[in-house]
Structure 1
Amino acid sequence: MCEATDMIADSAAVSPPLTGIRSSSSLRSLVLSPSKSVSLSQPKVTIDVEFVDGLTNVKAKLHARSYKSVDFARDLLAILVALRVPGWHKTQVTPESLSIRKVSGALTNTIFFVSCPTIALVPTLLLRIYGPSSSSLVSRSHELRMLHILSSRCHFGPRVYGTFTNGRIEEYFESVTLVSSDLRDRKTSQWIASRMAELHSVEISVVEGPLTVSALEGKSWEIGVKKNVKAWMPAARKVLGLHCISEATRQTLNIDRFYELWMRYLRWVSHVEKVEGASRRVFAHNDTQYGNILRLTSPLRQDAPEHHQIVVVDFEYASPNPVAFEIANHFHEWTADYHSSTPHFLDPNRYPTMEERQNFYRAYLAHSRPTATCASSVPTLRSEVEVSQLERQVRIWSPASHGMWTVWGIVQAQDSLERGELEPEFDYLAYATCRMEGFIRELSELGVR
């Protein structure tokens, strides 16, 4: 549920004078003079450049809250030039010519579209500034390696042009971001399912590397949802221990009781999968909410299938997981409206109907090829028995989505709590509460007590 990428009309068009970016030790330094990159009579801007995880990285920070300031534009432009972003580093772009448009609804990170409307052929970019709490949730080095493999070898997701201390610069797709109502469109839902199946056809080892003893879960991969909950629990406990947390909130989000139920649930799942058969483990996106799904507005290649209009972005939570978890997680996102007056609230009445779920399952199964590596799949007919089996497996794994995002929401609340925000832009604790209620409700429905 992490990034919603519908653009709002916040735009910063800035002008000098500006200040530079400074940093300390590095592998090498790059000095940008006004004559080379920023055609203003300002002091030279020095930023340090190194190579990390196969990508150019500059030792500089951007402060998302200051994106309308002149300093922000100057610093951003210096980063783009230092990273040698195609179409940007050899042009006479000036800070005052930048258009910086904030994207609404982004929760883990802050996202901007960056362009230079006054100069032809300068491409629009996506600027991602990491959220303050995201280091507790995401391994950025693993994410960057994964993104490089997915984009270069498997043609999924955006190209990453380079990174800076607290963010990165990505390829921008000419597209529109889906909205909540788009998920209910029959054809769009089929396209999402088809693209999901194609991603699941990527062999886990292609992205994650060879299977090692530390990655094992029985004879398969350790799944991401289990790893995440276990890894995030200490940070969640720390947040709930803050002095500003009320006793009522601690009782509502009883983390020890949650973890007891979580472990009981995992034991139940293990038993059921031994009896009924396990949901196939795949490389999964794990966050297919509508804000992470784009529809391309540029023409497709003539030989491209129509569902390739759909592009899924924001792979920071991607990992091995059961197919059923991925689909269940997507279905829960049907119940959210991150642009409403209560963006933290998930309405169970908006969950897809049986007909809508079956429409999704059939499209998914038609494009599913478990043995593929990075190739797109060819549709095949699947039986109604497989549809029914998938429905059952999604039901089994559905509480896991609620459980994972419960812990995530608690961790994400840390920054706003420590800043003393009484009315944060997104109420993470209220979101965690909503997810906790869903987790407990679905355990009861499955007879897990």
Structure 2
Amino acid sequence: MNEETISKKNKRLGYKICRDFMGGVWADITEEEFKITTQRGGLTNKLYICSLPDNVQPHDNQPRSVLLRVYGDIATEAKVVLQNSVIFALMSEKKLGPKLYGMTNLARIEEFVLANPLVTEDIQNPTLSRSIAQKLALFHSLNMPLSKKPCFLNGTMDDWMVKVQMILNQQHQDSDEGFMQTFREYRLANELQVLKDILERVKSPVVFSHNDLQEGNILYNETFEENKKMVVIDWEYCSYNYRGYDFGNHFLEWTYNYNYPSHPYFESNPEDYPSREQQYDFFRAYLEESGERISDETLRAMYKEANTFALASHFLWALWGILQNDMSDIEFGFLEYSAVRFEGYFTMKQRLPIED
């Protein structure tokens, strides 16, 4: 997408926030000189690269380009924006994420990291998978100024379920009605209680969790220093949560390709879900980074933990897809995605109980 297809509203928002928070030469250029292009990867938020004109040289160590993140409707509730802003600022201060330049209730400008987001094949790579496990262990060890109660999962699903039920009760255009009728037949409110009952039977430590560790949220540059090669971004869903959710959610991302060039702009390959041995390799790297003892008993418990909480990942993002279809103008097959996630949920549910 080029500059001409970006809405005037978002271009003006980008210009204003860069002018006000960056200052310096950013405050001297006109809106006509201000450059903005889209950045791929955002499914909840819209991402743009904002840049100075070629003939303007930055000074005082100011960057030539920054990333503008315009929050999607699902992420603009006051409490969500506040928590996301606090966490991003802390991660920036700890040098565990991109530098923060400024934020409002509508958007944020942050460091444009000269690294590429991983793709699905990358997170399946054994070496990179172990690095992701080590990075996840580091984040799980952080003590963040948030409520330590694991309210994110049930609270978010309960909140989204209310909104989804309202959507399902509405009339829809023919292209959507087939999906909606299928979702109604699932009796989702009852199924959510079934899911909660399943999760309550599995022990999982409560840790500071990312909750959306998919390939597009992991930046990588082989030329950087060892401890800076991999950067995890996009913390809008982070909270204290059950560790198993981060494991199961990440493993499911092995099966989705979000770079598919035509509608629905993703493809699902459930056969790529990591095997027990691949998951054990991930767990070993995680435990080594955490300084914890590795035993067969621990690995079996983590396997059960991850693959049970993967059910919650399917269910949560299926609800998200229904909401996004109703709220977002991002070009993506949200209802097709929900259908695939619900199908994955019911298929995985049939395999329970997972062997210890």
TM-score when normalising by structure 2: 0.87
> More deviation in 104-113 or 260-269?
260-269
Q: Distance in 2 between matches of 1:252 and 1:97?
A: 50
Amino acid at match of 2:19: V
Deviation by residue 1:377-427 (Cα, 9 ceiling, x = unmatched)? xx56622332222112112211011111111111111135xx8xxxx7211
Cα distance, 1:77 vs. partner?
2.7
Q: Distance in 1 between matches of 2:151 and 2:90?
A: 20
Q: Distance in 1 between matches of 2:126 and 2:346?
A: 30
Aligned to 1:361: 283
Would you say the 8 A contact 1:195–1:307 is kept in 2?
no
Q: 1:435 aligns with which of 338, 341, 347?
A: 341
Would you say the 8 A contact 2:17–2:109 is kept in 1?
no
Cα distance, 1:79 vs. partner?
2.8
Q: Distance in 2 between matches of 1:315 and 1:268?
A: 27
Cα distance, 1:105 vs. partner?
3.5
Q: Please, which runs of 5 or more residues in structure 1 have no aligned partner?
A: 1-9, 15-64, 212-220, 301-305, 369-378
Q: Distance in 1 between matches of 2:309 and 2:118?
A: 25
How do residues 116-195 of structure 1 correspond to structure 2 at under 5 angstroms?
116=52, 117-121=54-58, 122-123=62-63, 124-135=65-76, 139-152=80-93, 154-195=94-135
Q: Distance in 2 between matches of 1:182 and 1:133?
A: 29
Q: Distance in 2 between matches of 1:314 and 1:120?
A: 29
How do residues 362-381 of structure 1 correspond to structure 2 at under 5 angstroms?
362-368=284-290
Aligned to 1:254: 184
Structure 2 residue 306 is the aligned partner of structure 1 residue 394: yes
Cα distance, 1:357 vs. partner?
1.6
Structure 2 residue 5 is the aligned partner of structure 1 residue 80: no
Q: Distance in 2 between matches of 1:297 and 1:225?
A: 34
Q: Distance in 2 between matches of 1:163 and 1:135?
A: 13
Size of the alignment, in residue pairs? 345
Question: What is the SS of the residue equivalent to 2:235?
Answer: coil
Would you say the 8 A contact 1:200–1:284 is kept in 2?
yes
Q: Distance in 2 between matches of 1:135 and 1:294?
A: 24
Deviation by residue 1:112-151 (Cα, 9 ceiling, x = unmatched)? 1112243334412110112234336971122112222232
Amino acid at match of 1:281: V
Aligned to 1:112: 48
Cα distance, 1:335 vs. partner?
0.5
Deviation by residue 1:323-380 (Cα, 9 ceiling, x = unmatched)? 1110100011111111113434422112122332222111111112xxxxxxxxxx56
TM-score when normalising by structure 1: 0.70
Cα distance, 1:66 vs. partner?
3.1
Deviation by residue 1:213-268 (Cα, 9 ceiling, x = unmatched)? xxxxxxxx233111110111121122223321555333311277122122122223
Q: 2:327 aligns with which of 399, 409, 415?
A: 415
Structure 2 residue 146 is the aligned partner of structure 1 residue 208: yes
Q: Which has the higher strand share?
A: 1
Structure 2 residue 286 is the aligned partner of structure 1 residue 343: no
Cα distance, 1:86 vs. partner?
5.9
Q: 2:208 aligns with which of 283, 295, 300?
A: 283
Deviation by residue 1:154-191 (Cα, 9 ceiling, x = unmatched)? 43323332224521211222211111111121111111
State the percentage of identical aligned residues. Answer: 28
Q: Distance in 2 between matches of 1:104 and 1:130?
A: 15
Would you say the 8 A contact 2:212–2:249 is kept in 1?
yes
Would you say the 8 A contact 2:276–2:303 is kept in 1?
no
Structure 2 residue 318 is the aligned partner of structure 1 residue 406: yes
Structure 2 residue 233 is the aligned partner of structure 1 residue 327: no
Deviation by residue 1:65-84 (Cα, 9 ceiling, x = unmatched)? 634x6x8656533332222x
C-alpha RMSD of matched pairs (Å): 2.7
Would you say the 8 A contact 2:14–2:50 is kept in 1?
no
Question: What is the SS of the residue equivalent to 1:287?
Answer: coil
Q: Distance in 1 between matches of 2:78 and 2:245?
A: 19
Cα 1:434–1:88 shift into 2, 3 Å: farther
Cα distance, 1:89 vs. partner?
4.2
Aligned to 1:383: 295
Would you say the 8 A contact 1:147–1:157 is kept in 2?
yes
Cα 1:87–1:197 shift into 2, 3 Å: farther
Aligned to 1:27: none
Cα 1:402–1:155 shift into 2, 3 Å: same
Structure 2 residue 218 is the aligned partner of structure 1 residue 293: yes
Question: What is the SS of the residue equivalent to 2:76?
Answer: helix
Q: Please, which runs of 5 or more residues in structure 2 have no aligned partner?
A: none
Q: Distance in 1 between matches of 2:235 and 2:13?
A: 26
Question: What is the SS of the residue equivalent to 1:283?
Answer: strand
Q: 2:29 aligns with which of 93, 97, 116?
A: 93
Would you say the 8 A contact 2:85–2:103 is kept in 1?
no
Amino acid at match of 1:82: D
Structure 2 residue 229 is the aligned partner of structure 1 residue 309: yes
Amino acid at match of 2:70: I
Cα 1:355–1:137 shift into 2, 3 Å: farther
Amino acid at match of 2:125: D
The structure whose Rg is larger is 1
Q: Distance in 1 between matches of 2:24 and 2:256?
A: 38
